[in-house]
Amino acid sequence: MEPAQITAAVMSIVNTLRIIMQNQNRQKQARRRWQRGDKSDEDMDTDFSQSKGPGNLAILVAMGQAHAMERRFWARETSTDWWDRIVLQVWDDSQWLRNFRMREGTFMEL
């Protein structure tokens, strides 16, 4: 088998497995919503591109078909004013539960 054919076969398998995983995750979420009696569609907004499996690029790098390259990035300093003044001082437990699905004490322990 030619290297290009092997690469194409591996990529096809990876893509098929990723689709299967996405479908299974959606089914699990629908089942959980049904068991909870939840009518909202919030869980449908999940981004499945962040799946747990290896990405296409990682597989190509492992096979020697692509080369890993160090990337530079930047981030700017952001203000913590909103967090300090609003979240830590104003929010009650119901707002913590709604936004983080845990109480403030649990969040602070983590």
pTM: 0.34
Q: Coil, strand or helix: which one is 69?
A: coil
Q: How confident is the model over 31-73, as pLDDT tens digits? A: 888 888 766 555 455 555 555 666 666 676 666 665 666 667 6
| For the chain, domain boundaries | 1-72, 74-110
Whether the CB-CB separation of 52 and 73 falls below 8 Å is answered with no
CA distance 9 to 47: 26
